[in-house]
Amino acid sequence: MSSQTPGDVPGGPAVNHGFQQFGGHNEIGALAVGPGARAVAGSGAVSAVESDSIRAFLEEWARRLPELQQEHSPEQLAEITPRVETVRRQLDAPRPEKHLLKETLASIRAVLEHGLGGVATTALLALLAVIRC
């Protein structure tokens, strides 16, 4: 004899049994329940190491801006500059939004990768490569 519940019957209604644990300790990194649910792992907080790496990128950006103006078109810089400011504002916020930092840094990287290259661009791409958001 089987101990199936109605949701376990092929063709039967879907039943969410949830997460059950008896005793012990368990950490769930991400859990999505229900149709269309999306699990996102991670705390969402920016660590000190990530923050330091991002600040190093911002400092290098400011230092290398004159070189970047020679390596990239005004249109490319006009595309990147507001994104750099978004990153700066997020880091200065009381609770930076990690997902926003990650997406913005990825978009900066994409624009830099499609530029003419050069020493300043290479230095910035190297700093972006070590940032783990």
With respect to residue 78, please indicate whether it lies within any of the assigned structural domains: yes
With respect to residue 9, please indicate whether it lies within any of the assigned structural domains: no
Would you state the pLDDT for residue 127? 92
| Residues of the domain holding 61 | 48-130
Would you state the pLDDT for residue 36? 63
Would you state the pLDDT for residue 89? 96
Would you state the pLDDT for residue 105? 95
- DSSP H helices, the chain, are 48-71, 74-92, 98-113, 119-130
The average confidence (pLDDT) of the chain is: 79
63-80: per-residue pLDDT in tens?
Answer: 999 998 988 889 988 999
Q: Is pLDDT larger for residue 100 or for residue 20?
A: 100
Instruction: Give the Cα separation of 108 and 114 in Å (integer).
Output: 10
Distances (CA, A) of 90 to 1, 24, 50, 80: 59, 38, 13, 15
Torsion from C-alpha of 103, 109, 114, 116, nearest 10 degrees: 150
With respect to residue 7, please indicate whether it lies within any of the assigned structural domains: no
With respect to residue 43, please indicate whether it lies within any of the assigned structural domains: no
- pLDDT mean over 76-97: 93
Question: How many domains in the chain?
Answer: 1
Instruction: Give the Cα separation of 84 and 98 in Å (integer).
Output: 15
With respect to residue 15, please indicate whether it lies within any of the assigned structural domains: no
With respect to residue 65, please indicate whether it lies within any of the assigned structural domains: yes
